[in-house]
Amino acid sequence: MARSYLIAGNWKMHLNAEEARALVKALKAHTPKLPPGVEVLVCPAFTSLEAALEEAKGSPIQVGAQNMYWQEQGAFTGEVSPLMLKSVGVSHVLLGHSERRHVFMEPDDLIQKKVAACFKHGLKPVLCIGETLDERNAGKTLEVLDRQLHTGLAGLKPEDVPLLTVAYEPVWAIGTGVNATPQQAQEAHAHARKRLGELLGAAGLQVKILYGGSVKDDNAKVLLSEKDVDGALVGGAALKAPSFCGIMDAAIALSQ
């Protein structure tokens, strides 16, 4: 059966405007057209958004932000609002990424406010969830995913559901070179899908669930082959065209 995928690059605090432009250019050259089942998204730092958006214009590459604040404007030094992101033409926003949760100590209720602000302004949130190694070793993985989904999606309306993407990113797999096994990913994704169905009804079952954590061009195919893995959120391997294109190619092959 034909599958559909979203392959997203999280560039984190890398690539200035010029480098961002060059990478988008290389991705466009590799894949001037995408099959209907595959979407590609890149998420540069705020200062590189406009360069990436300009270069991506007219191509199938979508551009998202890595974070935002939930208020529309005001005295919030250092923050960027949904209206500001809308005004430059961003489509998606990564929210609740493990580095936001664990390095910047963002709590579940703040992430929920940001998710709700995305829906209010027609931006597409990519809600990241995932357990730490201690939580996995304590047998709490599914409980953590439940809590992060339940709080992160509180107050969501039925019309918001088509805008939502979820990314399962086990914290222990991010930037470590140790990816979850396809079985571990599938177990977490199947669980998240079941919960999304319970929380959001039938439409919740259709929400794309990306896997993230040490995805590379050589493990993308096995991970993306799992039934409930609908794409990848890629950090390190998204910073160079050959490795990111290899991951895109895996999705393109599996989509047909």
**144, 172 in Cβ contact below 8 A?**
no
Say how far apart CA 71 and CA 100 lie, in whole Å. Answer: 17
Residues numbered 225 to 254 that lie near ligand PGA (CB under 6 A) are 233-237
| Binding segment toward ligand PGA, per CB under 6 A, in 102-110, 138-146, 169-177, 248-256 | 169-177
Which residue's CB is nearer to ligand PGA, number 207 or number 215? Answer: 215
Query: Smallest distance from the beta carbon of 153 to ligand PGA, in angstroms?
Result: 20
User: φ, ψ for residue 126 (rounded to 5)?
Assistant: -110, 100
| Binding segment toward ligand PGA, per CB under 6 A, in 44-52, 138-146, 181-189, 208-216 | 208-216
Closest Cα to residue 116, out of 80, 85, 70?
70
| Binding segment toward ligand PGA, per CB under 6 A, in 131-139, 145-153, 201-209, 211-219 | 211-219
**28, 56 in Cβ contact below 8 A?**
yes
Single-letter amino acid code for the residue at 248: M
For CA atoms 156, 37, 58, 20, give the dihedral sign.
Answer: positive
- What three-state secondary structure class fits 6? strand
Query: Smallest distance from the beta carbon of 1 to ligand PGA, in angstroms?
Result: 27
> Is 187 considered catalytic here?
no
Maximum Cα–Cα distance for the chain, whole Å? 51
Among 39, 55, 92, 97, the one annotated catalytic:
97
Among 39, 55, 99, 169, the one annotated catalytic:
169
> Is 169 considered catalytic here?
yes
Say how far apart CA 128 and CA 209 lie, in whole Å. Answer: 10
Neighbours of 32 (CB within 10 A): 9
Count of residues in contact with ligand PGA, rule CB under 6 A = 13
Residues numbered 60 to 89 that lie near ligand PGA (CB under 6 A) are none
Q: CA of 151: how far to CAs of 101, 108, 127, 129, 169, in Å?
A: 14, 6, 11, 11, 17
Say how far apart CA 220 and CA 28 lie, in whole Å. Answer: 20
Contacts by 72-81 with C-beta closer than 8 Å and gap 24+? 80/46
For residue 174, state whether it binds ligand PGA (rule: CB under 6 A): yes
Which residue's CB is nearer to ligand PGA, number 135 or number 200? Answer: 135
Which residue's CB is nearer to ligand PGA, number 145 or number 174? Answer: 174
Query: Smallest distance from the beta carbon of 175 to ligand PGA, in angstroms?
Result: 4
Query: Smallest distance from the beta carbon of 249 to ligand PGA, in angstroms?
Result: 17
Query: Smallest distance from the beta carbon of 58 to ligand PGA, in angstroms?
Result: 27
Binding residue for ligand PGA, selected from 169, 217, 226, 230, defined by CB under 6 A: 169
**49, 66 in Cβ contact below 8 A?**
no
Q: Which residues bind ligand PGA (CB under 6 A)?
A: 10, 169, 174-175, 212-215, 233-237
Residues belonging to the active site: 97, 169
